[in-house]
Amino acid sequence: MSGKLKLTEGIILGSIAAVVFVVAITIVAELAAPLKGWLKNTFYHHWIGKSLIAVIVFAGFSVLAFAIPHKASLEGINRLLLVLVALVLLGALVIFGFFSYETFLK
């Protein structure tokens, strides 16, 4: 059971890292043309680049969280799930707010 809890915890931590990364890279790439250009030139399209890097971030944090020796618990997993849900909602609001500002107020 402990292995399954650690795996679950690792997947949630990888998801948290990926959500934070996607929100950050989306906004930074819109503000920094060289970054968006690099993503486009390297990965054919900036969305593909963000997606592939997000998968690497997810996998890296998931494996790292699973590999580090610690004791996982259901309470800890429940807290991490709440953090993940909160970050997804906050990230969606931040991206929506950013593009709304860029489109309508700037």
| pLDDT tens figures, 5-15 | 999 999 999 99
| Residues contacting residue 7 through CB under 8 Å, at least 6 positions apart | 66
The residue to which tokens 């807290």 are assigned: 79
Overall pTM > 0.95: no
**Domain boundaries along the sequence of the chain:** 2-105
User: pLDDT 10s digit of each residue in the chain, 106 long?
Assistant: 578 999 999 999 999 999 999 999 999 999 999 999 999 999 999 999 999 999 999 999 999 988 888 888 999 999 999 999 999 999 999 999 999 999 998 7
What count of other Cβ atoms lies within 10 Å of the Cβ of residue 79? 12
CA separation for the pair 9, 86 (Å, rounded): 16
